[in-house]
Amino acid sequence: MYTGVTPAKLPDKIPAAVESSPHACFALTESLEICYCNSAWDRFAQENSAEPGVLAASVLHKPFLQFVPEDLRLVYREIFQRARTLGRMQSQDYECSSAQDFRVYRMQVYPLKPGCGFVVINSLVIVHPHTRAVCEPDDARYRDRDGLIHMCANCRRARRVDDPAAWDWVPAYVTHTRRDATHSVCPFCREYYYGAYLAPKEPAE
């Protein structure tokens, strides 16, 4: 039984399909506040060892952009603005890999009637075992003077302290949500995934 957003907010034929979808789906108000998550949202979070703070019960009625790394907020704001202005679905691919598998998801943003917000569907489009060179966790190499690990918000690689242009794949750092990590976007992801929105960024010194 559908228990999420009422049909007053979503077209009559969408709610059941969204609720039963195997993909993580959610709905936003016009001001980008999360107003609904389907059951696959929590299932995906739990399968990826996410903290309770990102489960549906915790994120409802909160701004979506609150859960987006600062470097990507303008990107996602622009995607929703385009969906509203053009009146048609907009999509964005992003990486969300696990320690074992390389995974790319596609976020599809469907604008509802003006004033009624958006429905967002996140579907897995690529998955295969990692082929990246694996690096071991090394505090001297990856932790800055404040004890933080700088990780890419998209590919989750870690930036080297002694060479800010180098980002390494350290599976041990992505097995669970980290409180000791700060997120930006590595040069590769900045150009490959978000080049249409973000200008190149000089490496930090």
Query: What is the model's pLDDT at position 15?
Result: 62
**Model pTM?**
0.84
- Name the domain boundary from 129, 152, 170: 129
Q: Looking at the predicted structure, is the pLDDT value of residue 202 above 70?
A: no
Within 8 A by CB and 6+ apart from 34, the residues are 26, 27, 28, 59, 60, 61, 62, 63, 64
Domain range enclosing 92: 14-129
Q: pLDDT for 95-151, tens place per residue?
A: 989 889 999 999 999 999 899 899 999 999 999 999 999 999 998 999 999 999 999
68-105 as b/e, with b when 16 or more CB fall inside 10 Å?
Answer: bbebbeebbeebbeebbeeeeebebebbebbbeebbbb
Higher pLDDT, 144 or 2: 144
Kindly state whether residues 113 and 24 are assigned to the same domain: yes
Q: pLDDT for 155-186, tens place per residue?
A: 999 999 999 999 999 999 988 767 788 888 99
Q: Which of 37, 31, 24, 97 is nearest to 65 (CA)?
A: 31
For the chain, what is the domain count?
A: 2
204 assigned to some structural domain: no
Kindly state whether residues 85 and 170 are assigned to the same domain: no
